[in-house]
Amino acid sequence: MSGNTGKQPTRFHRKEVQKMMVKNARKAKIVDKIVSIFAILCVILAVIPLSSILFEVIKDGIAAINWDFLTGKPSAIGRAGGGIGPAIQGTLIVVGLATMIGAPIGILTGIYLSEFAGGGSFPNGVRFFNEVMTGLPSVVMGIVGYILIVINIGSFSVWAGAFSLSIIMIPIVSRVTEETIKIVPNSIREAGFALGIPKWKIILFITFKSAVSGILTGVVLAIARIAGETAPLIMTILGTSLFFTGFNSPVDALPLRIWRLSSQPYESAQEQAWGAALILILMVLILSVALRLLAQRRGLAVKAEI
Amino acid sequence: MLTKKNLASTFLKGKRRGDKIFRGIVIAASSYSALMLILVAFAVGEGALPIFSQEGFQFVVGTDWNAVYGRESFGALPYIIGTLLSSAIAMAIGVPISLGIAIFVTEMAPRRLSTPLSFVVELLAAVPSIIYGLWALFVFRFWVRDLIERPLYEHLNWIPFFDKTPFGLDIFTAGIVLSIMIIPIISSITREILLVVPNSQREAAYSLGATRWGTLRTAIFPYAKSGILGASFLGLGRAIGETILVTMIIGNAIGPAAIPTTLFSQGQSLASLIANEFNEAASDLHLSALIGLGAILLLLSMIINIGARFMVSRMVKVVPGGRE
């Protein structure tokens, strides 16, 4: 909170405001109309792109989708036919693996920050570092995955991609977990302590359990976010037209496949790019909408993305 | 620290091995998550070391980009300019519109309208950037070219900004699409900030006969100023780091040609050059130069983010989930 809680901002004394209002009454009304129209215009301007994106993706995407497209391998460049099977499989594997690394660490960090840590320098450092991490460009995470993993094992790999995505995921999950667990009323914990239950059991079976829907919300939010990431995957999993062959070799992913397809000059490739985009947007939007509905039912306020 | 909460475990010190183990686990996880930032900084710093020791400060202010063996020369200036210019365009368009949306949602719209509207705006935030890129590449760039750039070029080409035949794939288009991408982020945080402005501020201004705009200007904006500024900076951080979307539509110029002379010039941003060349790096030095671009990008976005968080947290705690 800034300093003037409960006070008038010092720059505007009542008299001054009053005088100004009376003097400018007519002008003010016109300006007010203009501002209102401007605000409405802004809303319309923002809704146009969303409807256009959804319209184009659905219109062009549906035409491309059939069973072979969803399960088949990509055909040679410039040839019609082929599918995005490896891309769907790769996205599921890489995002799944990233979630298996990122979610537990994020949740445990959140538990530490809310249940164990006070305001010492270590917990504050962890909080600060996580906040800074949230805003870092995802392409940098890809570089890190490349330097730490790809160079060391000598091949583009699933691990490197999952590691890069998990770095993006951890701060989101830990922040949501910390905030959600903080809301759990203290009386529940005290009841547990009164029964002589060890603290770790109280945290896992009482506090965590009552906060689990909120934490799940955070995890789903983070999954939706990393499923759409393209940049960190370029230098970690590379992309290939083959199905999964092992954790130490390249795989494909939907965002990467969309990028590759869209940069080909062939109409058939572009149609497929729209099809892949429809699959990706369905995955992400279904996750987000389900999340919103769940959160609304639980009375939690969820922010789309930060 | 003896609070009611952990009184029991203090009492039973030594008898609870489980507590110690659990505490160890959560501290280990926290250390890991904190270590990540240090790891990121070190990995990028180490990878960028060869280029900085070869070119020195020339890497930041140079304009050449030549990966041919024996004539290697790398300079990041055109891409720094491209990054800053496209983000500046995004901010110039995105911030006023976001502010308008936030004002409409919090101050004007009835509840029946404002709830679904903020829902739609937040959906926009969930759309992956590759999809914005695809849409911009095949749909939106023609709108920009035919509806905005052509008229500007035909009627205002005596202004040097507009004096180039527009093509649709340029810094201007990249800036506009970036603005579309950051509007949901800025407007949803601004909305949160306007919601925490106490109602007494509004009531005081209204009771003195202020119009809605008068109330906003005299009672609400002064109160929410630092928060709105911080929200804009968070959007800026996002725009600067955005990669794939920019790669698809900025035009991908290289070397001195990437320094924009008009708004409709093909350009290149730090992130987009990394995405374009990383897998085709011709030599170790070329790779190090690309990582060096990443280091500059990292530094830029860190400064912006820390500044933004500081400003927003002075006003309201911004949380990616949970109760505000």
- Does the residue A8 lie in any domain? no
Could you give the percent of chain B with pLDDT greater than 90?
Answer: 43
Q: Does one domain contain both A90 and A178?
A: yes
Last residue of a domain, one of A64, A98, A123: A64
Are the C-beta atoms of residues B176 and B144 closer than 8 Å to each other?
Answer: yes
Q: B260 vs chain A: nearest CA distance in angstroms?
A: 23
Residues in B 35-94 with any Cβ partner in A closer than 8 A: 36-40, 43-44, 46-47
| Residue of B34, B122, B212 lying closest to A304 (CB–CB) | B122
Q: How near does any CA of chain B get to the CA of A126, in Å? A: 5
Q: Which residue of A has its CA nearest to B231?
A: A306
A26, A75: one domain: no
Does the distance separating the beta carbons of B131 and A136 come in below 8 Å?
no
Q: Do B140 and A273 touch (CB under 8 A)?
A: no
CATH number for the domain including A204?
1.10.3720.10
Q: pLDDT at position B319, please?
A: 39
pLDDT over threshold 50, residue B144: yes
Residues of chain A above pLDDT 90, percent: 40
Q: Tell me: do A76 and A197 sit in the same domain.
A: yes
Instruction: Average the pLDDT over A189-218 and give the result.
Output: 87
Helical segments of chain B, H only: 7-11, 17-55, 58-61, 77-103, 111-126, 129-135, 141-143, 150-156, 171-196, 199-207, 212-215, 221-241, 244-249, 270-277, 284-315
The two structure tokens encoding residue A99? 């979630």
The tens digit of pLDDT for each residue in B214-239 reads: 888 888 888 888 888 888 988 998 89
- Asked if residue A306 belongs to a domain, the reply is no
Give the DSSP letter string of B236-273. Answer: HHHHHH--HHHHHHS----GGGGS-SSTTS----HHHH
**If you average pLDDT over residues B236-265, what whole number do you get?**
90
Whole-structure pTM value: 0.86
> Residue B177: its pLDDT value, please?
94
Same domain, A20 and A155: no
Q: Does residue A77 lie within any of the structural domains?
A: yes
Which range among A4-8, B28-32, B159-163 shows the weakest confidence by mean pLDDT?
A4-8
User: How near does any CA of chain B get to the CA of A169, in Å?
Assistant: 10
CA distance B56 to chain A (A): 21
Name beta bridge partners: A74.
Answer: A82
pLDDT given for residue B40 in this prediction: 94
CA atoms B301, B306, B307, B309: torsion sign: positive
Q: Which of A29, A46, A64 is the last residue of a domain?
A: A64
**Confidence band (pLDDT; 50, 70, 90) for B180?**
very high
For residues A188 and B95, which has the higher predicted lDDT (pLDDT)? B95
Note whether residue A3 is domain-resident: no
Strand partners, A238: A251
Split at pLDDT 50, 70, 90, the class of A4 is: very low
| Closest residue to A11, CB basis, from B25, B103, B222 | B222
Is A276 an 8 Å CB contact of chain B? Answer: no
Answer yes or no: is A199 within a domain: yes
Same structural domain, A118 and A37: no
Residue A84 lies in a domain: yes
Q: Give yes or no for residue A8 having a pLDDT over 70.
A: no
**What residues 99-128 of chain A have any CB closer than 8 A to a CB of chain B?**
104-106, 108-109, 111-113, 115-118, 122-123, 125-126
Q: How many residues does chain A have?
A: 306
Comparing alpha-carbon positions, the chain A residue that sits nearest to B219 is: A9
CB proximity under 8 Å: A 72-101 to B: none
- A151, part of any domain: yes
Domain closes at, from A33, A64, A95:
A64
- ipTM score here? 0.86
- Domains of chain B, by residue range, sit at 76-315
Tens of pLDDT, residue by residue over A48-75, are 988 899 899 999 999 888 898 898 888 8
Q: Which of A42, A137, A228 sits opposite B243 (nearest CB)?
A: A137
pLDDT at B306 over 70: yes
Is residue A173 located within the same domain as residue A128? yes
Q: Are residues A84 and A44 in the same domain?
A: no
Question: What residues of chain A lie within 8 A of the CB of B205, using their CB?
Answer: 17
CB B244 within 8 A of CB B133: yes
Q: Are residues A225 and A118 in the same domain?
A: yes
Mean pLDDT of all residues in chain B? 86
Instruction: Specify whether A32 is located in the same domain as A158.
Output: no
pLDDT at B7 over 80: no
Q: Quick check: is A259 in a domain?
A: yes
Nearest CA distance, A200 vs chain B (angstrom) = 5
Does A73 share its domain with A221? Answer: yes
Pairwise CA distance, residues A11 & A9, whole Å: 6
Arithmetic mean of pLDDT, B154-159: 84
Residue of A nearest to B11 (CA): A196
Looking at beta carbons, which residues of chain B come within 8 Å of A196?
A: 8
Domain hosting A41: range is 14-64
CATH architecture of B76-315: Orthogonal Bundle (1.10)
What's the number of domains chain A is made of? 2
Same domain for A52 and A140, yes or no, is no
Residue B268 sits at the chain A interface (C-beta within 8 Å): no
Sequence-separated (6 or more) residues with CB below 8 Å from residue A14: A8, B204, B208
φ/ψ of B184, rounded to 5, equals: -60, -40
Cβ-contact B213, A35 below 8 angstroms:
yes
CB–CB of B211/A29 below 8 Å? yes
